[in-house]
Amino acid sequence: MKKVIKPSKLKYNTPVSYGRFIFLLLAAINLSTTTSAQDTSFQPKHAAIFFPYPMYKEKWRSSIGFTLMTTPEDITEEVRLRVPCGDYRLLRRINNHFILDSRLWFQVLQNHLSTGIRYSKPLSKNLYFSAGDDIGCWFGVLKLGGFNSKASGVLNYSHVSLGYKTKKDLLITFKAQVSVNLHYQAVNGDDKFSSEQAYYNGETFTLALEQPFYNKKHLTLAVSAINNYFYWQTWALFYKTNRKVFYPQITVGFIL
């Protein structure tokens, strides 16, 4: 039995188009104005991943850690997922304000890779801003109790961040993100399901703290509130729900 949903065009009033419009507008503003004295004299006290620091001198920056997400009881009933997921981040400087931001979540049986462009700019001595747009691809394989299932998908993430630098080397970042599901495909034995219909998936709000840790290393602690119709780590349990589901998530990272 095969069920295929025909592709449908993504309308221009979706969050993807808004995110790209904002991103292109920021790029035009940045290219049309000269770099301020504040930008050229900027010196970060320590490395950061979430905090919207521009990368003026470094070419690469990375971190390794894990995330821990919990599924709600009212959706999964007896099944509660609390399995840690490996988290690797890699930043590549493009110029004084643009960064290539890549991220890999890995759990062996299911993995997620995303990459995108992030624009960062100081607003004042202690306040910083960034905006970006990412494309993420995920896939999962599950062979259990006679079931042979696999699935994959593509999502788009548009986000903005506001960071505050304290006097005690603590960096505080608030990040707001919206996502759009662009593609989903699942195979369970002889049954196949595929959907190219794009839909608004939900929002994620993150509060991140970053500070020096040990031996010139730096630590990231973040708490995220994920409110989505579909979350890629739950593909083996269910696909899209008819209402948004709340997933709390904790992130711990060590900046290399």
Q: What is the pLDDT of residues 117-159, one digit of tens each?
A: 999 999 998 899 999 999 999 998 887 766 778 999 999 999 9
- Report d(CA 107, CA 76) in Å as an integer: 20
Give the distance between the most distant pair of CA atoms in the chain. Answer: 65
Asked if residue 7 has pLDDT above 50, the reply is no
Contact 19, 178 (CB under 8 A): yes
- In 3D space, the residue among 116, 114, 113 whose CA is nearest the CA of residue 140 turns out to be 113
Whether the pTM exceeds 0.75: the reply is: yes
For the chain, what is the mean pLDDT? Answer: 81
Calculated CA dihedral for residues 55, 56, 57, 63, nearest 10 degrees: -10
The dotted CATH code for 2-255 is 2.40.128
**Cα–Cα dist 130/113, whole Å:** 21
Task: List residues bridging with 154 in a β-sheet.
Answer: 137, 183
Strands (E), 94-170: 98-106, 110-122, 127-144, 147-165
Q: Of 74 and 71, which is predicted with more confidence?
A: 71
Residue at token pair 């590549």: 92
Q: Which is more confidently placed, 32 or 163?
A: 163
Q: What integer pLDDT is reported at residue 30 of this predicted model?
A: 53
The residue among 143, 158, 152 whose CA lies nearest residue 186 is 152
Provide the pLDDT confidence category of residue 236 given band limits of 50, 70 and 90: confident
> CB burial class (10 A; 0-12, 13-18, 19+) of residue 197?
middle
| Top-confidence residue, 29 or 199 | 199
8 A C-beta contact, residue 237 and residue 76: yes
Q: In sequence order, which residues have a C-beta less than 8 Å from that of residue 85 and are 6 or more positions away?
A: 66, 67, 68, 69, 105, 106, 107, 233
Mean pLDDT calculated for residue range 223-233: 92
